[in-house]
Structure 1
Amino acid sequence: MPSVRLLSIVHKWFAPGSAITWVPWQLRLSQKQYQEIIESKATKTLRTEAQFLSTALFDETPEMPVDHLRLSSAWLGRIQTVFRNAIAICKGAHLARLKAFDKKILDLATHSPTDASLRTVTTAELVSADRRIWQEIALLQGQGWTLDDALHELTTVRSDLGNLLQYRAKAPALPPRPPPKKDGKDKPGKGTGKGGKAQGTSPGKRREPGTGTATEVKTSDLIKEHNNRHSQPAQPLPAATAPAAQPRPANTFTPEPLPALQEGSLP
């Protein structure tokens, strides 16, 4: 059952000389919700006449906040049921026409897209679209249309509902945050032991191979060793020698001796 406040607003639509106005979603309450909000705002007993007058003049109308709520088909269906029952009780439109109008809005607003990069409308976007839709209905009524005809026009003929409730693109994902900077104490190193001392060899000590202990090295020993290295004369480098010449092999060819000339052999 719609609340009395909602019924009075809708009934005023169809009074002579009046027009359809948009009803905020905060006021689309059932009678039970209306009573619960009033009881939650109950205050102490009034003591003076001044307090009574100030409360009567500045009393806030019970409202239901909707901006922070997450849109769901069950929640949206309850609000639509209360509002269309209020219009049907005031004989503004047929209930079947109102149900068809609400069903199309419900399907467009809550049907999840197949594309992962898209999303449905939020609660704030749905409330803004609902305001635009009822402003369009009010314009049609001002031109002589009945509410039944205006609802049928927007439900089956025009594409205003689909345009206002179409899928939106999702916001791009935020880039990953850089890793936190490490202080000097957190840098990876040799670490400390149980006593809080470093595990590595301290300066001035030399670790001997094969043992786990380090012997202390005096500065004088280092200087002495350094001087001994430079006191030794430098050894000259061996001179480069050319390879010895190899003897050429003797000619093994021996010419044959010429025959001796005899007297009288010449002409």
Structure 2
Amino acid sequence: MPSVRLLSIVHRWFVPGNAISWVPWQLRLSEKQYQEIIESRTTKTLRTEAAFLSTALFDDTPELPVDHLRLSPAWLGRIQTVFCNAIALCKGAHLQRLKAYDKKILDLATQAPADPSLRTVSTSELVSADRKLWKEISSLHSAGWNLDDALHEMTTVRSDVGNLLQLRARPPPPPLRPPRDPNAPLRGKGKTGKGKTGKGNAPPLKRKTPGTPGASDTAQLDLVKAHGNKTFCIRFNKGTAVIVNCAAALSRGSS
């Protein structure tokens, strides 16, 4: 039995001045599913006053998520049965026309491709195709066709259903990685291929031992200046020279 909400949506199609609109699959619920979702929500405690007011002011329609579900003949058949029963109860179309239309969609959406490089449509692709098909049915109904003739046209005359639900190409598998030589080095050769200029092959830094001068301590431009025939150390004159083998310090100390 379709839910009351689904019956009201379908009944609104045939009110004078209205048109057929696509019904989302989340709303194609049976009365049992509708009540189960309602009961699961009422058991949750409302912790804040804002949450209580939001549930009282806004119509939170129960919805069944379908995007993450795997497409199967049993699941698709249940959704189709609920929806076509809702249309038949509202006297929109004969149940035989609805079942013939649903059977064609079910056969194409759940077919087993003989070629392993092909696949059937996914759930999201099937929902998108259903939206386009019902848009075309709505156009025929607005042009003066009754719903029985529009369904027969889409089922047996036109090729829209077959084109939208045709097999897709399966994505190719990722390429296999070649086996690694156990005797090969773990590091690569770098961007240049030389093996020494890459980031992964940078030489390890050496720890500075106490008593050995560094690169900044032995720079000639920073420490030693020449004036005439004499050479003097700037750091020694400032009293900051700690280098033992400073030439200016040795010459002054010996003089």
**TM-score, with structure 2 as normaliser:** 0.67
Q: Report the counterpart of residue 115 of structure 1 in structure 2.
A: 115
In 2: Cα distance, 1:140 partner to 1:127 partner: 20
Q: Report the counterpart of residue 84 of structure 2 in structure 1.
A: 84
- 2:35 maps to a residue whose letter is Q
Say whether 1:135 aligns with 2:154.
no
**Deviations along 1:167-217, whole A, 9 cap, x unmatched?**
0010011112466898x9x9xxxxxxxxxxxxxxxxxxxxxxxxxxxxxxx
Q: Report the counterpart of residue 203 of structure 1 in structure 2.
A: none
In 2: Cα distance, 1:110 partner to 1:23 partner: 22
**Deviations along 1:134-154, whole A, 9 cap, x unmatched?**
000011011101000000000
Q: Which moved more, 1:48-57 or 1:62-71?
A: 48-57
In 2: Cα distance, 1:88 partner to 1:45 partner: 39
Q: Report the counterpart of residue 214 of structure 2 in structure 1.
A: none
- In structure 2, the residue corresponding to 1:151 is in which secondary structure? helix
Q: Which moved more, 1:38-47 or 1:95-104?
A: 38-47
- 2:159 maps to a residue whose letter is S
**TM-score, with structure 1 as normaliser:** 0.64
Q: Report the counterpart of residue 190 of structure 2 in structure 1.
A: none
Distance 1:126 1:44, change over 3 A: closer
- 1:55 maps to a residue whose letter is T
Q: CA deviation at 1:31?
A: 0.5
In 2: Cα distance, 1:181 partner to 1:59 partner: 65
In 1: Cα distance, 2:112 partner to 2:66 partner: 21
In 2: Cα distance, 1:170 partner to 1:156 partner: 28
Q: CA deviation at 1:42?
A: 1.8
- 1:161 maps to a residue whose letter is V
- 2:74 maps to a residue whose letter is A
What is the identity percentage for the equivalent residue pairs of Structure 1 and Structure 2?
A: 77
**Deviations along 1:103-138, whole A, 9 cap, x unmatched?**
000001101111111111011100000000000001
Q: Report the counterpart of residue 39 of structure 1 in structure 2.
A: 39
In 2: Cα distance, 1:47 partner to 1:179 partner: 58
| Number of aligned positions between the proteins | 187
Query: Comparing both structures, which one devotes a greater share of its residues to helix?
Result: 2
Is there any run of 5+ residues in structure 1 with no aligned partner, and where? 187-267
Q: Report the counterpart of residue 149 of structure 1 in structure 2.
A: 149
Q: What is the CA RMSD across the aligned residues, in angstroms?
A: 2.5
Is there any run of 5+ residues in structure 2 with no aligned partner, and where? 187-255
In 2: Cα distance, 1:57 partner to 1:110 partner: 42
Q: CA deviation at 1:48?
A: 9.5
* Structure exhibiting the larger radius of gyration computed from Cα positions: 1
- In structure 2, the residue corresponding to 1:26 is in which secondary structure? helix
In 1: Cα distance, 2:79 partner to 2:179 partner: 47
Q: CA deviation at 1:58?
A: 2.7
Q: CA deviation at 1:54?
A: 2.6
Q: Report the counterpart of residue 238 of structure 2 in structure 1.
A: none
Say whether 1:55 aligns with 2:47.
no
Q: Which moved more, 1:113-122 or 1:147-156?
A: 113-122
